[in-house]
Amino acid sequence: MQADLLGIGEFARRSGLTVKALRYYDRIGLLGPAKTSIGTNFRRYRGDQVAAARLIAKLRSAGVPIEEIRLALTNPSGEAVSQILGGHRRRLQARATRLAGDLHRLQHLLNEGTDTDMTDNASGGSPILDPEAERRLGAELFNEVWRLLETEDRSAEQDDQMVHAAHASAYHWRRVGKAENFARAEWQCSRVYSVLGRAEPALHHAYRSLELCERNGIGDFDLAFAYEALARAHAVTGHAGQARHMTELALAACEHIADSEDKQIVLADLETIPGVPHFW
């Protein structure tokens, strides 16, 4: 019987897990060896344990939590694993949405110091509110959209509120903001419509965001996010080729993002676009 068992090194090679990982999974009771030698603590595994180890390797590569992997091992059917992956995907999408929202909110805060002396408005006409009040409303509505985007099981009424808040935020930033604020407002409108599965307005606002970036020489994460919005909107339409093309342009734009953390936020967001292979 012992001759049929695999040493930990051979088992690691067959399973795709490292020896260190196998020892850790043994300690936490996720995947233990078939036999451990007394005194030497030498671990040996059965050949039929390779499938379970490979499943662990695949799920961990996608960042699935250990406790959910434990559940998958008790019921390794395709449907059960698909449900676990679907739940993990939804969590990643929510996390990416929160990170992207934090980044855009941060940029609004960073810009406030340079925007406070701007009294002209892009729409013309007499101001309805003083510029500072409009800036505050634009930021608060922008943040409210993110709160709604992060809300699970939104109602139809909340979906409507999200659309109206996105456009109201864009309106106020149009009056007192800069080109960067305009581009981000258009990007947020596009994200809202993509989340709601409404392809035409999602594409419209994504192209507006890209146009504003190109016309005003805006690069860094704003340009990358404009391409991300186009990739996501094309994915909603079902045009996988266009979605992949825009994803490639977003990845190219990421190479010019100065801050490494900002770059990682955009890359994480790109990974949530359905139907686009993650080749980066």
Q: What is the mean pLDDT of residues 22-35?
A: 91
118 and 34 belong to one structural domain: no
Q: End of a domain among 41, 61, 81? A: 61
34 and 96 belong to one structural domain: no
Give pLDDT tens digits for 107-134: 666 666 544 443 344 445 555 678 888 8
42 and 150 belong to one structural domain: no
- The CATH number of the domain holding residue 214 is 1.25.40.10
131 and 217 belong to one structural domain: yes
Give pLDDT tens digits for 39-55: 777 899 999 999 999 99
45 and 119 belong to one structural domain: no
Domain assignment of residue 22, given as a range? 2-61
pTM beyond 0.75: no
What percent of the chain stands above pLDDT 70?
88
In a domain, 68, yes or no: no
181 and 220 belong to one structural domain: yes
Q: End of a domain among 17, 45, 61? A: 61
Q: What is the pLDDT of residue 116?
A: 40
Stretch among 62-71, 80-89, 148-157 having the lowest mean pLDDT: 80-89
210 and 124 belong to one structural domain: yes
Number of domains in the chain: 2
Q: Check if the beta carbon of residue 269 is closer than 8 Å to that of residue 99.
A: yes
Q: What is the mean pLDDT of residues 94-117?
A: 64
27 and 146 belong to one structural domain: no
Q: End of a domain among 45, 61, 77? A: 61
- The CATH number of the domain holding residue 22 is 1.10.1660.10
Q: In whole numbers, what is the pLDDT of the chain averaged over residues? A: 85
Q: What is the pLDDT of residue 128?
A: 63
Q: What is the mean pLDDT of residues 164-176?
A: 95
Q: What is the pLDDT of residue 115?
A: 46
pLDDT at 170 over 80: yes
Which residues have C-beta within 8 Å of that of residue 127, sequence separation ≥ 6? 119, 121, 134, 175
Q: Report residue 14 as tokens.
A: 């067959």
193 and 251 belong to one structural domain: yes
Give pLDDT tens digits for 192-234: 999 999 999 999 999 999 999 999 999 998 999 999 999 999 9
Q: What is the pLDDT of residue 159?
A: 95
In a domain, 276, yes or no: no
Q: What is the pLDDT of residue 187?
A: 96
In a domain, 18, yes or no: yes
